[in-house]
Amino acid sequence: MIPAMKIDTDNLSSHMIVPQLGWVPLNLRELWKYRQLLRIFVWRDVKARYKQTMAGVTWVIIQPLIAMVVFSLFFGRWLGISSGDVPYPIFTFCALIPWTYFVHALTVSSNSVVGQQSVITKVYFPRLLMPLSAVLSGLVDLFAALVILIPLMFFYGLKPGWELIFLPVFILLALLTALSVGVWLAAINVRFRDVNQAMPFVTQLWMFCTPVAYPLSVVPENLRPIYELNPMVAVVEGFRWAVAGQGELPLRMMLVSICAMLVVLIGGLYWFRREEACFADVV
Amino acid sequence: MGEFAIKTSKLGKRYVLGTRGAHQGLHKLFEDNLRALAKPFLIQHSVADADQHPQFLWALRDIDLSIRHGEIVGLAGHNGAGKSVLLKILSRITWPTEGQATLEGKVGSMLEVGAGFHPEFTGRENVFLVAATLGMTVDEVREKFDQIVEFAEVHDMLDTPVKRYSSGMYVRLAFSMAAHLNANIMLFDEVIAVGDADFREKCLARIKVMADEGRTIIFVSHNMELIKELCPRTLILSSGKLVHDGPTDIDLLDRYAHLVEHR
């Protein structure tokens, strides 16, 4: 039989439930306590994505690969857009890797709360884990795409230099950018499903504002200060610098966009926590 | 620490009836504004008027409760009486509109059979998933793993996704997990109604053991026989109000039936 054990009621921590109105603390300590669950959520997302698909992980690679071919043909060859000192396919693929990840992370995280109605109305856990696991699980795709880059670089006779060690910095920046906008959209999506309708449109517009298909140099100097507020500009330029050694470390750009991103991220986290109280009632 | 595992005072939860404003979407806001502008020209605007005055429903109001460590409390009431809302507030799924509740220790709730399960996950994976939602570490779960599986009688199905489980296996695994994880306050919402008589007996026995261990249990059921057998104390909710809080007695059944008939 089950061994009898006594619950020690002397050392229990107590918590109080009161109406939640307005802004509340982020409670990052609790989030840390639930890191195990975050790991399981990430694994669940990855598993759910590839289950019962024949091509499995190939799908993730095909997407940026085909985009690369199309872009190289239309923009690189026919429109003759300059890609500087690296071949156009490498130039655009270096941008497509973080960009594809970003779009995916953004889409999945904005749907992360709405897509789990049955769980959030029945089980308690810190809700921030949902958008967080969404942006983390997309990293698997990003690494798969990075692996494809190796033979491609080899084909064009390019070798990455010491700059490559800085790649994680730009991956982290892409992740945090996706998270910063993702938490806002995830919370708004609970009340307004319009977010789903707007998503494809927003990401398309965003891509035009990011130097994926064209070099940064075509953007007029006087628009740069606004243009560079978009953290994905720094991410894309950073990827090109770290992988293909093109240009320089976009340090100033990074500082500007990290500041912009942090404002959006911190605001988003607090907004999410504020809205959290009504998730189970409204969703 | 304190004497009580759960203590609430003036706990209340209000819902807004109908779908108004933000809950309905941007187009509704737009439409409302348009309607307001066009009002002088409209002959009939009764629909819009109804929208202007939100109706509130107090799903729960003025709930004062004190439940000691180790108590088993039955919770009854007709559909919509507020039983589930109370459990949801106590398990921090939804927030109260007024009042407060203090809980000592970890709350484990089972508001639905297999709530928190992921259908694509295997039984084994789901044990870890559900345990993690209680904030437990992998090591803590490993310690209890064999007990959980043994009680649930699902050895053969451990590596099969739970979406292929029969409803019996599902409820056995779900209950077993709730019963073995390290929460000291357990909230059960009508969960052992499923499953066969043998397993029900086993569950009841297990719940008694849990109470002996010092855990506090709130047990929601429509089945008054179950409550009589299991719970020394009963709460009855009616339209969001606590109408009975005391020892379970034989009168209870009649009173409960009366309540349901005359609401």
| B17 touches A at CB < 8 Å | no
Alpha carbons A272 and A276: distance in angstroms, whole number: 6
Domain-embedded: residue A78:
yes
- Residue B117 pLDDT more than 80? yes
Torsion of CA B235, B238, B242, B244, to 10 degrees: -50
Residue A14 forms part of a structural domain: no
SS3 call for B260: helix
Fold classification of B69-261 is Rossmann fold (3.40.50)
Taken in order B147, B150, B155, B160, the sign of the CA dihedral is negative
ipTM of the complex: 0.81
* B253 touching A (Cβ < 8 Å): no
Assigned domain for A251 exists: yes
What is the arithmetic mean of pLDDT over A115-138? 91
Query: Does the CB of B19 have a partner CB in chain A at under 8 Å?
Result: no
Question: Which of A271 and A2 is assigned the larger pLDDT?
Answer: A271
pLDDT at A235: 94
What is the C-alpha to C-alpha distance for residues B101 and B22, in angstroms, rounded to an integer?
29
Most A-contacting residue of B58, B133, B202 (CB-CB within 10 A), to test interface:
B133
pLDDT recorded at residue B12: 92
C-alpha span between B259 and A119 (Å, rounded): 33
What tens digit of pLDDT does each residue of B83-93 get?
999 999 999 99
> Is B57 near chain A, with CB under 8 Å?
no
pLDDT for residue B108: 86
> B2 touching A, CB under 8 A?
yes
Min Cα separation B189/chain A (Å): 11
Q: What is the rounded CA–CA span in Å between residue A275 and residue A186? A: 10
- A227-241, A249-263, B64-78, B106-120: range with lowest mean pLDDT: B106-120
Compute the distance between CA of residue B168 and CA of residue B14 in angstroms, rounded to an integer. 36
Whether A50 maps to a domain, the answer reads no
* 3-state SS assignment for residue A1: coil
Q: Do B214 and A192 touch (CB under 8 A)?
A: no
Assess whether pLDDT exceeds 80 at residue B99. yes
- Reading the block at residue A207, the tokens are 């891509």
CB distance B1–A15 less than 8 Å?
no
Interface check for B159 against chain A (CB to CB < 8 A): the answer is no
Residues A206, A85: contact at Cβ < 8 Å? no
pLDDT score recorded for residue A8: 66
Among B90, B132, B213, select the one facing A7 at the smallest CB separation.
B213
CA gap A199, A182 in Å, rounded: 11
Which residue from A minimizes the CA distance to B125? A40
Q: Does residue B240 carry a pLDDT above 70? A: yes
Task: For chain B, positions 116-155, list CB contacts with chain A under 8 A.
Answer: 116, 118, 120-121, 125, 128-129, 132-133, 135-138, 147, 151
d(CA B84, CA B73): 14
| pLDDT over threshold 60, residue B48 | no
Looking at this protein, which amino acid is placed at residue A139? L
Q: Is A6 among the domain residues? A: no
Cβ–Cβ < 8 Å for B68, B5: yes
Q: What is the mean pLDDT of residues A192-198?
A: 87
Contacts of A277 in chain B (CB under 8 A): 94-95
Q: Tell whether B98 is within 8 A of chain A (Cβ).
A: yes
Location of each CATH 3.40.50.300 domain in chain B? 69-261
Residues in contact with B36: Cβ distance below 8 Å, sequence separation at least 6, in sequence order: B48
Q: Domain range for residue A102?
A: 28-44+56-282
- Which residues of chain A have a CB within 8 Å of the CB of B135? 33-34, 36-37
Domain-embedded: residue A127:
yes
Whether pLDDT at A181 is above 90: yes
Tokens representing A92 are: 């655009």
How is residue B55 annotated by DSSP? Answer: P
Q: Provide the mean pLDDT of chain B.
A: 82
Q: Answer whether B175 touches A (CB < 8 Å).
A: no
Q: Compare A53 and A176 and report the one with higher pLDDT.
A: A176
Question: Token digits for A80?
Answer: 């003759």
- Would you call B232 an interface residue with chain A, using a CB distance cutoff of 8 Å? no
The pairing of strands B233-238 and B241-247 is antiparallel
Distance CA A213, CA A190 (A): 34
CB A110 within 8 A of CB A186: yes
Nearest to A4 among B121, B184, B212 (CB): B212
Q: Which residues pair with B76 in a beta bridge?
A: B236
Main-chain dihedrals φ then ψ at residue B81, nearest 5 degrees: -75, -15
Instruction: For an interface test with A, give the residue of B58, B72, B95 to mutate (most A CBs within 10 A).
Output: B95
Question: Is residue A204 in a domain?
Answer: yes
B1 to A14: CB separation less than 8 angstroms, yes or no: yes
* Nearest-by-Cβ selection for B88 from A5, A118, A280: A280
Q: Pairing relation of β-strands B216-220 and B107-110? A: unpaired
Domain total in chain A: 1
CB contact at 8 A, B61 and B241: yes
pLDDT band at B31 (very low <50, low <70, confident <90, very high): low
What burial letters (b/e) apply to B219-243, b meaning 16+ CB within 10 Å?
A: bbbeebebbbebbebbbbbbbbebe
pTM, full prediction: 0.85
Q: Does a structural domain hold residue A182?
A: yes
Q: Which of A250-254, B74-78, B249-253 has the weakest average pLDDT? A: B249-253
Rg of chain B's alpha carbons, rounded to an integer?
22
Put simply, the answer to whether A13 touches B103 (Cβ < 8 Å) is no
Nearest by Cα to B90 from B67, B109, B77: B109
Give me the residue from A12, A44, A123 closest to B184, CB to CB: A12
B160/B121 Cα distance (integer angstroms): 8
**Residue of A46, A123, A189, A197 to mutate, interface with B, max B Cβ within 10 Å:** A123
Q: Distance (Å) from the C-alpha of residue A38 to the closest C-alpha of chain B? A: 9
